[in-house]
Amino acid sequence: MFGVLTNKGKVPYISLDEFISIDKMKYFDKYLEKQLYDKFLNQPNPPEYLKSFIENKDIHSVFSTYYDDITLKQSWNLIHTYLSEFIDYLYETLMEDIGGFFILDEVDGTAPNFHRDWGEDTTGDKHEKEGLVPTEKESRKTSENWIWFKFSDSKKLYVSDIDGKNDISKRIPVKSYGVYFNGLDYHGSYNDSHGFSVRLHGNLKDSVIEKLGLDD
């Protein structure tokens, strides 16, 4: 695995649970549902650019800074308008800054395919045929380390090396509510996984980095 580098060596992922309250994360499970489904989707007189998304009950395309369905400025405005309490909590506990935001409400039976976040080879086919792509050295120059949160026990995440791409037994279950992991490693969920998750690009507070011994 590419994994995450620490001052004690490489690890598959790092738990962030010591910096957050699990009870607070479970509170945010209801908060996200209320803000997104009750308030956002039921807003009176939405602006024209949001009408089609609201009609299709599509929260993922607009509460993300990685798509171009709406402008980046519009996405951030929605995130800060509807999810401000959650964003404030992240800045209070973990984050120095947030550069990217993605939210997923996974419905039972619609788990994302096991994949990796490498534009040239998200499925791993090239990896299987040609070996490790990118190389270990090249991987450390990218910015594919993610900060990921779940808000209920029903939401699952697994990470693995290429041996877990097609072999479930090789996948490492992530039990933490908050984790730091390398998106170049294979990850995803399956089997009865459902619920909200949020994935961030950004910088952790220096105090968090120091306590975790991050060297990545």
Query: What average pLDDT is seen over the chain?
Result: 89
DSSP state of 107: P
Residue 206 pLDDT > 60:
yes
Q: What is the CATH number of the domain that holds 193?
A: 2.60.120
Q: Is the pTM of this model over 0.85?
A: yes
How many domains are contained in the chain? 1
Stronger pLDDT, 129 or 42, i.e. the higher one: 42
Q: Which domain holds residue 162?
A: 4-212
Helix 84-93 and helix 22-33: axis angle, to 10°? Answer: 160
CA pair distance 37, 57, nearest whole angstrom: 8
Higher pLDDT, 3 or 85: 85
Residues 205, 93: Cα–Cα separation, whole Å: 8
Q: In this predicted structure, what is the pLDDT of residue 116?
A: 82
How large is the C-alpha radius of gyration of the chain?
18
Residue 216's pLDDT band (cuts 50, 70, 90): low
pLDDT at 128: 65
Yes or no: say if 73 and 96 are a contact pair by the CB < 8 Å rule.
Answer: no
Q: With cut-offs at 50, 70 and 90, classify the pLDDT of residue 215.
A: confident
First to last CA, the chain: 14
* Residue 175 confidence (pLDDT): 92
pLDDT in tens, 160-186: 988 888 888 999 999 999 999 998 888
> CA 135 to CA 50: how far, in whole Å?
42
Q: Are 175 and 158 in contact (CB under 8 A)?
A: no
What's the whole-number mean pLDDT along residues 60-75?
Answer: 94
pLDDT band with cut points at 50, 70 and 90 for residue 188: confident
Q: Where does residue 121 fall: left (phi above 0), alpha (psi -120 to 50 degrees), or beta otherwise?
A: beta
* Continuous segment of H or E residues that includes residue 88: helix 84-93
What is the rounded CA–CA span in Å between residue 127 and residue 150? 29
Q: At what angle do helices 84-93 and 72-82 cross, to 10 degrees?
A: 90
Query: Cβ neighbours of residue 51 under 8 Å, at least 6 residues apart?
Result: none
Check whether 121 has a pLDDT greater than 60: no
pLDDT at position 110 over 80: no
Greater model confidence, 140 or 157: 157
The pLDDT of residue 193: 86
